[in-house]
Amino acid sequence: MSAPQWQGQCAGCGAWNTLEAAAAPVAVGARQRGLSGGDAALLSSVQEAAEPRISTGLGELDRVLGGGLVAGSVTLLGGDPGIGKSTLLLQAAAALGADQVVLYATGEESLQQVGMRARRLGCTQAPVALLAETQVERILEAARAHKAAVLVIDSIQTMRSESSDSAPGAVAQLRESAAALVGFAKSTGTAVLLIGHVTKEGAIAGPRVLEHMVDTVLYFESDSGSRYRMVRAVKNRFGAANEIGVFSMHGSGLKEVRNPSAIFLSRHEKPSSGSVVTVIREGTRPLLVEVQVLVDSSVLANPRRVAVGLDHNRLSLLLAVLHRHAGIAMHAHDVFANVVGGVRIGETAADLPALLAVVSSLHDKPLPQDMVVFGEIGLAGEVRPVPYGEERVREAAKHGFSKALIPAANKPQQAIASMDITVVQNLADAIARCF
């Protein structure tokens, strides 16, 4: 019998002052998994382990992983149902199978269904071991028996572990199954890839609880209706976070898009107002994207601010700066902002282009088509520098742009061929130069 506090009378027999305090045993055993053991070691004596990378055969996937798969690493690939997670990892498994032992465990589809997908992808002959199983311990047994170097789990939501008796998909079950897989990866050096379904709304309760347990978290996302798919690294112990890899979905699987800047720019016939091209830097590569804004007179007391691909609060903040420091009020206007191609910008480098697009749409005056703009905007209306300014300008030059409007502090040391660079100190200055 256990009680939360001292009691005078025994609830069992009714006798007084007979109870004695004893600490309840703490459950040990099952919970204590992970990296453990050994004495403390000096940092300088720790061998720098070489991290040989295993190529997945898909350059864009290798890029987001930081150069390929790392032995003993655990990667979570999240994304909406139907976006192509199974397709991506089956393609990767088929390529990896050429010189690694690969085990693909499916808890979601039958072997026939996986076989049908393989036929579409044209990889039925790939040496990949398939297993239809949802019991983690049995999958690990098979992985041990096959000496698998790569293990794909499709999906973690369908897995159950012996050490938990809650329903598959429940948070406790997810944790236990993932813990068993992580322990296996670390102790055997097998690279484990976990697929997890994430719905846009319920993002928190699902596989996100696993984010801290795994080494790398990738999200597979797309603009609805578009054939382009982006894999984004939101966490990576072996590479740059925010790196993106771009694919397009075809009848025969996913194809890499090697030059993604080209698809995120919608080519207008003639200059159009409200559209500004900017250079963002996702992970380790600069990317040209188009920011579009539509300003319309509003009949609402609280005009609408809609931002797709940009941060909604940031847009409101920028509109306040536009009012206070450039004297342009948007109180009577709805503002709709969109980033072309389903790209999500998390960088402040898009501040200046977003506001110039607002002003361009408001006055219905297009900016030059061959111009790129980037720069952060401060609350005092100043235009602040962003990291890798010169690299961004060079990327724009590479894609045929000939004008750049950039923060003064980002001015390249040397002139860049065929690039006419205008530097600005503050927002009012930038607007005066453009309109």
Contacts to ligand TYD by CB under 6 A: 79, 81-87, 117, 120-121, 249, 251-253
Binding partner at 251 among ligand TYD, Mg ion, none, C-beta below 5 to 8 Å by kind? ligand TYD
Query: Which CB atom, from 220 or from 401, has the smaller least distance to ligand TYD?
Result: 220
Are 59 and 256 spatial neighbours (Cβ–Cβ below 8 Å)? yes
Single-letter residue type at 61: L
Query: Which CB atom, from 85 or from 281, has the smaller least distance to ligand TYD?
Result: 85
Single-letter residue type at 130: L
Query: Which CB atom, from 116 or from 145, has the smaller least distance to ligand TYD?
Result: 116
Are 216 and 235 spatial neighbours (Cβ–Cβ below 8 Å)? yes
β-bridge pairing 285-297 and 333-339? antiparallel
Residue nearest to Mg ion (CB): 86
Query: Which CB atom, from 144 or from 250, has the smaller least distance to ligand TYD?
Result: 250
Query: Which CB atom, from 86 or from 261, has the smaller least distance to Mg ion?
Result: 86
Query: Which CB atom, from 86 or from 426, has the smaller least distance to Mg ion?
Result: 86
Q: Which two tokens stand for residue 360?
A: 């361009």
> Can you tell me the distance from the alpha carbon of 106 to that of 84, in angstroms, rounded to the nearest whole number?
15
The Cα-based distances of 75 to 65, 260, 286, 327, 353 in angstroms read 9, 24, 25, 49, 35
Binding partner at 245 among ligand TYD, Mg ion, none, C-beta below 5 to 8 Å by kind? none
Least distance CB 112 / ligand TYD (angstroms): 14
Contacts of 22 (CB under 8 A, 6+ apart): none
Query: Which CB atom, from 82 or from 400, has the smaller least distance to Mg ion?
Result: 82
DSSP 426: B
> Can you tell me the distance from the alpha carbon of 64 to that of 51, in angstroms, rounded to the nearest whole number?
16
Binding partner at 82 among ligand TYD, Mg ion, none, C-beta below 5 to 8 Å by kind? ligand TYD
Burial category of 199 from C-beta neighbours within 10 Å (exposed 0-12, middle 13-18, buried 19 and up): exposed
Number of H helices, E strands in the chain: 10, 20
Binding partner at 34 among Mg ion, ligand TYD, none, C-beta below 5 to 8 Å by kind? none
> Using CB under 5 A, which of 56, 73, 75, 86 touches Mg ion?
86
Least distance CB 83 / Mg ion (angstroms): 9
> Can you tell me the distance from the alpha carbon of 384 to that of 320, in angstroms, rounded to the nearest whole number?
17
Query: Which CB atom, from 194 or from 318, has the smaller least distance to Mg ion?
Result: 194
The count of chain residues that interact with Mg ion, using the rule CB under 5 A, is 1
Measured distance between the N- and C-terminal CA atoms of the chain, rounded to whole angstroms: 80
Single-letter residue type at 396: A
Single-letter residue type at 292: Q
> Can you tell me the distance from the alpha carbon of 362 to that of 435, in angstroms, rounded to the nearest whole number?
11
Binding partner at 84 among ligand TYD, Mg ion, none, C-beta below 5 to 8 Å by kind? ligand TYD
**With binding defined as CB under 5 A, does residue 360 bind Mg ion?**
no
200 Rama sector, left if φ>0, alpha if ψ -120 to 50, beta otherwise: alpha
SS3 398: helix
Binding partner at 87 among ligand TYD, Mg ion, none, C-beta below 5 to 8 Å by kind? ligand TYD
Least distance CB 252 / Mg ion (angstroms): 17
Stretch binding Mg ion (CB under 5 A), from 12-20, 82-90, 224-232, 265-273: 82-90
Please give the biggest Cα pair distance in the chain: 96
Least distance CB 106 / ligand TYD (angstroms): 10
Query: Which CB atom, from 115 or from 368, has the smaller least distance to ligand TYD?
Result: 115
Are 220 and 155 spatial neighbours (Cβ–Cβ below 8 Å)? no
Least distance CB 94 / ligand TYD (angstroms): 12
Binding partner at 411 among ligand TYD, Mg ion, none, C-beta below 5 to 8 Å by kind? none
Least distance CB 214 / ligand TYD (angstroms): 18
Least distance CB 81 / Mg ion (angstroms): 7
Least distance CB 63 / Mg ion (angstroms): 23
Site residues for Mg ion per CB under 5 A: 86
